[in-house]
Amino acid sequence: MDDEKKALHLFVGFLCGQEKTCGTKQKHHTQEAAQKAADSLNRSGKARNKTEPYPCFFCGQWHIGREMSYDELRKHIQKYSDLQ
């Protein structure tokens, strides 16, 4: 994951809050470990959507969530800004 996408994920996570972003999700110490878990989940066919690892603003580790494009991440930020 490049620096821009990582920063977008961190900011969206902050805006969404700890419960939704981190909550009871499994923590992975590294991006590589989270990527392996996401790849395994994607191959299993058990995920509703393609998944990807993302950095967590709150715990400093990595979680797995629905794959989000740059545009989706930016739209989340814009939506939050519009509410303010």
Residue-wise pLDDT tens digits, 22-81: 999 999 999 999 999 999 999 998 888 999 999 999 999 999 999 999 999 999 999 887
Residue-wise pLDDT tens digits, 54-70: 999 999 999 999 999 99
| CA–CA distance, 1 with 4 (Å, rounded to integer) | 8
Q: What is the 8-class DSSP label of residue 57?
A: T
pLDDT band at 84 (very low <50, low <70, confident <90, very high): low
Element (H, E) at 65: strand 62-66
User: What does the domain layout of the chain look like in residue ranges?
Assistant: 27-79
Q: How many CA atoms lie within 13 A of 52 on its CB side?
A: 10
| CA–CA distance, 80 with 73 (Å, rounded to integer) | 11
For the whole model, what pTM was predicted?
Answer: 0.88
Alpha-carbon separation of residue 20 from 5, 12, 63, 83 (angstroms): 19, 11, 11, 18
